[in-house]
Amino acid sequence: MAMFKTCPYCGSNLDHNEQCTCGGVSTAVLRTPRELVKDRMAAMEQAKARAKQTAHATLRKGIYTAICRQTKTQ
């Protein structure tokens, strides 16, 4: 009967006295470069959308302020 244990981090099957070489980093935490780039691009798109929304709100506020000033002078 074979005796082995499973690494709690990476899930590899190890012999009785064997040490895992994964370094204790869970494979669920590791990300591929492609995933990192996709996440970074998504974050950049969200930041761009927030900046556009802020600019739009500032423009609306500026137009509203200009209209109020015109009505006060008339």
Segment 43-53 mean pLDDT: 94
- What are the boundaries of each domain within the chain? 1-30, 32-74
Strand runs labelled E in 1-74 = 4-6, 13-15
56 residue type, one letter: H
The whole-number pLDDT of residue 22 equals: 79
- Express each pLDDT in 12-43 by its tens digit: 888 888 888 877 765 556 678 888 899 999 99
Tell me, what's the pLDDT at 45?
A: 96
Indicate the pTM of the whole model.
0.47
pLDDT at 46: 95
Percent of the chain with pLDDT over 90: 22
